[in-house]
């Protein structure tokens, strides 16, 4: 395998590539290239992270071989003894992590968790109140082309047009008018603290359920760095692979026994068949990691790094939506730096320089989603690698050199070399 000598790989990954080299060279080449890409680029996509070696290899283990439809103690297949143990371990750790009574660890993804939750809490045609995707919501919260917007009547609240913050009085007004069956809070591109207690007060006033989708901030919530949706939300959904730093997957939590029973039925057999037991095994290990004191320190550093990166960008003339960040991400309005700069160009130029980001619409963005005026940047992955506040100044500087030069080829090449050398000082596993 022609793997670059200066990129460190853990022993099991080396073995895997060696196993594949003669067996399936096409797959081996692509997997090696991806390992190198991750090791030599700066990952600033707010919804991504680098899992530990243990979580990564558990996700590729013999647990993948089993059908375990049903739940621990009530399976539709024989041979599930140890799978029951694994799923129980994941459930118990999830409950401990979020301080709640019930956990379903089977959703294959966050969108699947939301599908099962919608089906458990509402009937088709019921009204659901949520923030639209264009303002930082999520497609599974009611986008027309998604199941949520197809089978439910979606009412929307929006951010305040001036402050770009949640306006709880305005949300209450919309809720009184549309009388939803369920209100959704929790977002994909909102950089401020969410007041779950206030949302619950609004839900109670109009007789609605409150669903909190904490996919982005789950790690911060588990670590106590962002307020918890419990005891306010009736149901909490999340992914497990963002700030929580687990394998790709979903999770549903609640304190209510009746809701928990409905959720279980709607995950299986309602919307899924056999659970991905290798992923549930990896979730158990990741939740165990998140219960350790080091994880709290990690999440605190994620937030400190986001503040430092935000300051570095503001200093260089960028505008941050809502004026800043309280969590792991920021939404950058590029037009303040250069009126012609689009998110699409910024994403492309930065990728060539080894800085991985995603274009993102900003509130009331005049440009279409394929262009956008913004970038969404997050610090979970960089913090996993060990970067600290001082490093954020370097990152802001690299970003600005690339964007300030409008993607000039010589500048991008120079930054790419610097980023690669820098990344090699921060191996993915340490």
Choosing from 69, 160, 400, 418, the catalytic residue is 69
67 catalytic? Reply is yes
Residue among 1 and 139 whose Cβ is closer to ligand DSN: 139
Query: Counting contacts by CB under 6 A, is residue 115 touching ligand DSN?
Result: no
Residue among 146 and 188 whose Cβ is closer to ligand DSN: 188
Closest by CA to 199, choosing from 216, 182, 215, is 182
Cis peptide before 213 (omega within 30 of 0): no
Minimum CB separation from ligand DSN for residue 39, in Å?
A: 22
For residues 179 to 208, the per-residue mask of contacts with ligand DSN, x marking binding by CB under 6 A and - elsewhere, is ---------x--------------------
Residue among 110 and 246 whose Cβ is closer to ligand DSN: 110
127 catalytic? Reply is no
Choosing from 67, 127, 134, 160, the catalytic residue is 67
Minimum CB separation from ligand DSN for residue 46, in Å?
A: 7
Minimum CB separation from ligand DSN for residue 370, in Å?
A: 16
Determine how many CB atoms are found less than 10 A away from the CB of residue 138.
24
Minimum CB separation from ligand DSN for residue 193, in Å?
A: 18
Residue among 141 and 232 whose Cβ is closer to ligand DSN: 141
Residue among 139 and 414 whose Cβ is closer to ligand DSN: 139
Q: Is 414 exposed, middle or buried (0-12, 13-18, 19+ CB in 10 A)?
A: middle
Q: State which residue has the least CB distance to ligand DSN.
A: 47
Query: Counting contacts by CB under 6 A, is residue 343 touching ligand DSN?
Result: no
Query: Counting contacts by CB under 6 A, is residue 110 touching ligand DSN?
Result: yes
Minimum CB separation from ligand DSN for residue 86, in Å?
A: 25
157 catalytic? Reply is no
Minimum CB separation from ligand DSN for residue 357, in Å?
A: 11
For residues 218 to 257, the per-residue mask of contacts with ligand DSN, x marking binding by CB under 6 A and - elsewhere, is ----------------------------------------
Query: Counting contacts by CB under 6 A, is residue 379 touching ligand DSN?
Result: no
Residue among 135 and 411 whose Cβ is closer to ligand DSN: 135
Choosing from 87, 158, 213, 264, the catalytic residue is 213
Question: Binding residues for ligand DSN, how many (CB under 6 A)?
Answer: 4
Choosing from 91, 248, 283, 416, the catalytic residue is 248
Query: Counting contacts by CB under 6 A, is residue 130 touching ligand DSN?
Result: no
User: What is the SS3 string spanning the chain?
Assistant: CCCCCCCCCCHHHHHHHHHHHHHCHHHHHHHHHHHHHHHHCEECCCCCCCCCHHHHHHCCCHHHHCCCCEECCEECCCCCHHHHHHHHHHHHHHHHHHCCCEEECCCCCHHHHHHHHHHHHCCCCCEEEECCHHHCCCHHHCCCCCHHHHHCEEEECCECCCCCCECHHHHHHHHHHHCCCEEEECCCCCCCCCCHHHHHHHHHHHCCEEEEECCCCHHHHHCCCCCCCCCCCCEEEEECCCCCCCCCCEEEEECCHHHHHHHHHHHHHHHCCCCCHHHHHHHHHHHHHHCCHHHHHHHHHHHHHHHHHHHHHHHCCCEEHHHCCCCCEEEEEHHHCCCCCCHHHHHHHHHHCCEECEEECCCCCCCCCCCCCEEEEECHHHHHHCCCHHHHHHHHHHHHHHHHCCCCHHHHHHHHHHHHHHHHCCCCCC
Minimum CB separation from ligand DSN for residue 383, in Å?
A: 17
Determine how many CB atoms are found less than 10 A away from the CB of residue 417.
12
Token pair of 162, please? Answer: 């001036």
74 catalytic? Reply is no
Query: Counting contacts by CB under 6 A, is residue 138 touching ligand DSN?
Result: yes
23 catalytic? Reply is no
Say what angle helices 11-23 and 25-40 make with each other, to 10 degrees. Answer: 150
Minimum CB separation from ligand DSN for residue 355, in Å?
A: 17
Closest by CA to 201, choosing from 177, 232, 167, is 232
168 catalytic? Reply is no
Query: Counting contacts by CB under 6 A, is residue 47 touching ligand DSN?
Result: yes
Residue among 213 and 264 whose Cβ is closer to ligand DSN: 213
Residue among 16 and 346 whose Cβ is closer to ligand DSN: 346
For residues 380 to 409, the per-residue mask of contacts with ligand DSN, x marking binding by CB under 6 A and - elsewhere, is ------------------------------
Binding site for ligand DSN (CB under 6 A): 47, 110, 138, 188
Residues tagged active-site = 67, 69, 213, 239, 242, 248
């Amino acid at each position: 395998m022609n793997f670059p000598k200066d990129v460190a790989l853990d022993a099991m990954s080396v073995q895997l590539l060696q196993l594949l080299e003669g067996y399936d060279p096409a797959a081996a080449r692509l997997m090696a290239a991806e390992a190198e890409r991750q090791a030599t680029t700066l990952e600033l996509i707010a919804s991504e992270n680098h899992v530990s070696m243990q979580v990564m290899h558990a996700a590729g283990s013999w647990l993948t071989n089993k059908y375990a439809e049903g739940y621990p103690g009530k399976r539709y297949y024989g041979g599930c003894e140890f799978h029951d143990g694994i799923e129980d371990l994941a459930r118990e750790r999830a409950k401990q992590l979020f301080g709640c009574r019930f956990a379903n660890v089977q959703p294959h993804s966050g969108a699947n968790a939301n599908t099962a939750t919608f089906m458990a809490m509402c009937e088709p045609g019921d009204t659901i109140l949520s923030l639209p995707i264009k303002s930082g919501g999520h497609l599974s919260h009611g986008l027309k082309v998604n199941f949520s917007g197809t089978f439910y009547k979606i009412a929307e609240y929006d951010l305040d047009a001036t402050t770009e913050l949640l306006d709880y009085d305005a949300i209450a007004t919309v809720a009184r008018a549309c009388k939803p069956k369920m209100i959704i809070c929790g977002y994909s591109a909102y950089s401020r603290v969410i007041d779950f207690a206030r949302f619950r007060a609004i839900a109670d006033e109009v007789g609605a359920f409150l669903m909190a989708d904490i996919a982005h901030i789950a790690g911060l919530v588990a670590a106590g760095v962002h307020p918890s949706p419990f005891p306010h939300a009736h149901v909490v959904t999340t992914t497990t692979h963002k700030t929580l730093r687990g394998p790709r997957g979903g999770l549903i939590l609640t304190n209510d026994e009746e809701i928990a029973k409905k959720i279980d039925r709607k995950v299986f057999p309602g919307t899924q068949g056999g659970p991905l037991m290798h992923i549930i095994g990896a979730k158990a290990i990741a939740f165990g990691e998140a219960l350790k004191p080091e994880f709290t320190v990690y999440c605190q550093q994620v937030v400190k790094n986001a503040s430092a990166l935000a300051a570095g960008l503001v200093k260089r003339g960028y505008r941050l939506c809502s004026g800043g960040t309280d969590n792991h991400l920021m939404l950058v309005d590029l037009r303040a730096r250069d009126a012609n700069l689009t998110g699409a160009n910024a994403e492309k130029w930065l990728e060539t320089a080894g800085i991985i980001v995603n274009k993102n619409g900003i509130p009331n963005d005049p440009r279409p989603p394929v262009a956008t005026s913004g970038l969404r940047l997050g610090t979970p992955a960089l913090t996993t690698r060990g970067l600290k506040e001082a490093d954020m100044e370097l990152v802001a500087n690299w970003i600005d050199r690339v964007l300030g030069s409008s993607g000039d080829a010589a500048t991008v090449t120079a930054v790419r070399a610097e980023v690669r050398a820098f990344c090699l000082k921060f191996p993915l596993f340490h």
